[in-house]
Amino acid sequence: MTITTTTHLNFRGDARAALEFYQSVFGGDRTVVTYGDFGMPGDLPGADEVVFGQVVAENGFRIMAYDVPADSPAAAVPAATVREHGRTLTGERFFVSVRGETAEEVGGLWGGLADGAEVIEEYGPSAWAPGFGMLTDRFGVTWILDVAAPYAG
């Protein structure tokens, strides 16, 4: 059996902009379907918001996103971040992790995601990998980027 896990992000009206941004960083094909495309009358608020969206790239990157309907309760978690004893601690419930094979490859992705982001841990060599960094992008999503390295025990 083969399975695929894809991160699905929930936004409040900016899913389209987030998907465009992620496509600019990771490449691939973008799909955006609006509530209006699914039959909501175009003159209703939210008809142009994303009910289904994704970016799928040949390099293995996949992400999905949609705009939570306006009448749904907010699920925002504060992104309070603290550095303590060499560990990065945040109030986030999850991170999106991107792992590549070389520092150059991951560094290029970092450069794209860092545009307008709050850097939590600057990208660079770490004790466990040739490259590691953590940031919260302009859409409030926290990302960990690192270079795959064998565990040194």
DSSP β-bridge partners for residue 5: none
pLDDT at 99: 87
Report yes or no: 129 and 90 within 8 Å, Cβ to Cβ.
Answer: no
Helix extents (H) in the chain = 15-26, 103-113
Q: Give how many domains the chain has, as a whole number.
A: 2
pLDDT at 30: 97
Instruction: Say if residue 91 is in the same domain as residue 139.
Output: yes
pTM listed for this prediction: 0.75
pLDDT at 3: 56
Spatial distance between the Cα atoms of 52 and 62, rounded to a whole number of angstroms: 13
Q: Which two tokens stand for residue 29?
A: 């094909």
Phi then psi for 16, rounded to 5 degrees?
-60, -45
**Residue 153 resides in a domain:** no
pLDDT along the chain (153 residues), means of 10: 76 95 97 88 88 93 89 45 44 76 93 96 89 93 87 53
Question: What SS3 state is found at 64?
Answer: strand
pLDDT at 91: 53
Instruction: Please report, for the domain that includes residue 132, its CATH number.
Output: 3.30.720.110
pLDDT at 83: 44
